[in-house]
Amino acid sequence: MPRLITSRTPGTWQELETTVRDILRECGMQAECQVTLTLPRGSANIDVLAEDRVEGIVHKIICECKNWTAAIPQHVVHAFRTVVHEAGANRGYIISKAGFQSGSIEAASSTNIELVTFEEFQDIFFERWLKAQSWALENNYGGFNTYYEPFGIPGIHRLEDETEIREYQEIHRHYLYLGLILPSFSPYRWITGGAWPTLPFDCTRIEAHGIHVPEDIKAATAYRELFQALEAHVDEGLRALRKRNPITRNQPYDSIERDD
């Protein structure tokens, strides 16, 4: 069964193109929609063009997005093969909503073209996407984890007012669910050979301790929606914690380098 990056099915060809482009961008590639390429025998309009730089070498990927209700016929594959070849692309993908005719599959065999559904396209890039996005979450909000390490709440020892201490502890408790969930999606998890959690994420043990978990996190059935929810809540939580932390509360949010 294909592993899904997103559970949202594009409703139009424009949505399919932009979603394919965004997935490739989120994998770390440069990608654009509706690019016109000059070829030896004219020009061609490309649905999605991506460039993937690996150790200084640029690999070109071309995607043809077909949101048709009918299976893709053979002549479409033949035309696409010509474009991929003349553009010097390393890989071509035809992404079809309704699958492919048997002749199309034969036309693509033993070539650098892959015929895939949108779900299969996601599965191809799933591991790379997940690693890239877990690193993005870590790099953008790594300071959040500092508040839930076993060394105590950062800066709380500097507070003398009991009301301030209690308010800081309440904010810390409110976002504890993130401190418990985020380690499951740490990029260090795959480095050490850990497995990614299945979705929807099982919050049973967390909620058993009376800790509230927002519905958008519990309801996410694909990683893109889950990461979007996590990023929004982590950003909100980090801002709230930094306002209470005496080490950081007088500093501009975006200029803070350390929270402890």
For residues 169 and 174, give the distance between their C-alpha atoms in angstroms, rounded to a whole number. 9
Angle at 248 between CA 226 and CA 258, to 5 degrees: 70
Residue 190 pLDDT > 80: no
Cα(219)–Cα(230) distance, integer angstroms: 12
d(C-alpha 238, C-alpha 229), whole Å: 14
- Mean pLDDT along residues 235-249: 96
Strand bridging mode 42-54 / 57-66: antiparallel
Q: Is the dihedral of CA 168, 169, 172, 174 positive or negative?
A: negative
Q: Cα dihedral angle (112, 117, 120, 126), rounded to 10 degrees?
A: 90
Tell me which of 105-119, 167-181, 187-201 is least confident: 187-201
pLDDT in tens, 68-101: 999 999 999 999 999 999 999 999 999 999 999 9
User: What span, in angstroms and rounded, lies between the C-alpha atoms of 67 and 49?
Assistant: 17
Q: Tell me, what amino acid is at 164?
A: E
Query: In whole angstroms, what is the distance from residue 46 CA to residue 170 CA?
Result: 53
CA dihedral sign of residues 125, 130, 136, 139: negative
Write down the pLDDT at residue 74. 96
- Please state the rounded mean pLDDT for residues 154-175: 96
**Could you tell me which of 221, 224, 253 has the C-alpha nearest to residue 237?**
253
Nearest to 62 by CA among 15, 82, 71: 82
DSSP secondary structure string, 180-205? HHGGGG-HHHHHTTPPPPPSS---HH
**Amino acid identity, residue 109?**
S
Q: What is the pLDDT of residue 69?
A: 92
The per-residue pLDDT for 54 is 84
pLDDT at 9 over 90: yes
Three-state SS for 101?
A: coil
Residue 1: predicted pLDDT: 74
What is the pTM for the complete model shown? Answer: 0.90
Confidence (pLDDT) at 222: 96
Q: Is 58 helix (H, G, I), strand (E, B) or coil?
A: strand
13: left (phi over 0), alpha (psi -120 to 50) or beta: alpha
Of all residues in the chain, what percent carry a pLDDT higher than 70?
Answer: 100
71: β partners: none
Please compute the mean of the pLDDT values over residues 23-45 and round it to a whole number: 94
Q: What was the pLDDT predicted at 132? A: 95
- Is 244 in contact with 171 (CB distance < 8 Å)? yes
Percent helix, percent strand, percent coil in the chain, to nearest 5: 50, 20, 30
pLDDT of residue 194: 78
Q: What pLDDT score was predicted for residue 51?
A: 96
